[in-house]
Chains A and B, each alone.
Chain A
Amino acid sequence: EVQLVESGGGFVPPGGSLRLSCVASGFAFRTYTMNWVRQAPGKGLECLSYIDTSGAKFYTDSVRGRFTVSRDNAKNSLYLQMNSLRDEDTAVYYCSRDGGAFDLWGQGTQVIVSS
C-alpha cells in the first residue's frame, strides 16, 4: 500500500525540541521531493519545508533556523528536527509527497507546545 506514516509528536515546553519522522511505503521514496506541512488548531495549511531528491533543503521564514529537514533513503524516511519551539508551533504536522504537487499525505502527528 502506498502510504506515509508520521510519528514523534507530543507535548513539549516552549524552547524545547522534538524530532518528527515520516516513513514511506509502497513507492520509490528516493525519487520524490518530500514536504512538511502543518495545520494549527482550527486554522489553514502552511508548507514549512521540503527536501528534494538531491538533498537540497528549503524552508519558510517562520521555521528557518529552528527546524531542519532531512531524509534517509535507505530507511524510506523523512525527518523534521524542531528546536526552539514556540506556542505558535502547536499544530498537526503532515508529511506529503512530490513537492508542490502534494499528491500523497500522511495522517499527521500532533505537536503541542505548552508549559
Chain B
Amino acid sequence: DVVMTQSPLSLPVTLGQPASISCRSSQGLVYRDGNTYLNWFQQRPGQPPRRLIYTVSNRESGVPDRFSGSGSGTDFTLKISRVEAEDVGVYYCVQGTHWPWTFGQGTRVEIK
C-alpha cells in the first residue's frame, strides 16, 4: 500500500500567520491518465471531511483562496496564507491513484 506521511502532526498557528503542511507518498502518484490524484481535506470536529484541494492544486468551489496546494512526484504541500479561526481542524492528504487509496495521519491545526 502507498504510505502517506504528513508533517507536522500538530501545527499551532497565530491568527493571520501562514501555515504549511507537508505530505509525502511512498510511491509516485501519477495515474495512467496523466493526472495526479492527490487531494487535501479539512475535517472540523463532529463533521465529515470536506475536500479543499483536488489533483494537487485545484481549489474546490467555495474554498477561500488563502488555501493552496502544490507539489509533484512524491512531495506535496498545503498552504494557508493567513490562518483564520475557522481553519481550526484536522487536515488530511489522500492519494486516489493506487488502490487501496490511502490517507495521511492528519495534521491538527490549532490557534496559539
A residues touching B (Cβ–Cβ < 8 Å)? Answer: 35, 44-47, 50, 58, 60-61, 94, 99-103, 105-108
Chain B contacts for A94, CB-based, 8 A: 48-49
Q: Is B67 an interface residue (CB 8 A)?
A: no
Show 5 residue pairs from A and B whose CB-CB distance is below 8 angstroms, ordered by the A residue: A45-B106, A100-B37, A101-B37, A102-B94, A102-B96
Contacts of B50 in A (CB 8 A): 105
Q: Determine whether the beta carbon of A100 is less than 8 Å from that of B105.
A: no
Main secondary structure on A side of the interface with B:
mixed
- Whether A44 lies near B39 (C-beta < 8 A) is no
Give the contacting residue for B96; candidates A61, A99, A108; CB below 8 A: A99
Number of A-B contacts (CB under 8 A): 54
Question: In the complex, which residues of chain A have a beta carbon less than 8 angstroms from the beta carbon of B94?
Answer: 45, 47, 100, 102
B89-101 interface bits toward A, Cβ cutoff 8 Å, 1 = contact, 0 = none: 0001011110111
Evaluate contact between A102 and B48: CB separation under 8 angstroms: no
| Of the residues A45, A58, A101, A103, contact of B92 by C-beta under 8 Å | A45
Q: In whole angstroms, how far apart are the Cα atoms of A102 and B104 in the complex?
A: 14
| List of 3 A-B pairs having minimum Cβ-Cβ separation, nearest first | A100-B96, A105-B48, A60-B100
Distance, CA A20 to CA B47, complexed state (A): 19
Do B51 and A103 touch across chains, with their CB atoms under 8 A apart? yes
> Assuming the A-B contacts A44-B92, A45-B103, are A100 and B97 also in contact, with contact meaning beta carbons closer than 8 angstroms in the complex?
yes
Q: Apart from A99-B101, A105-B48, A105-B50, what are 9 other A-B pairs with CB-CB below 8 Å? A: A45-B92, A45-B106, A46-B103, A50-B99, A61-B100, A100-B96, A101-B37, A106-B48, A107-B48
The contact of A103 among B54, B95, B101, by CB within 8 Å, is B54
Interface residues in B7-50 (C-beta closer than 8 Å to A): 37, 39, 41, 48-50
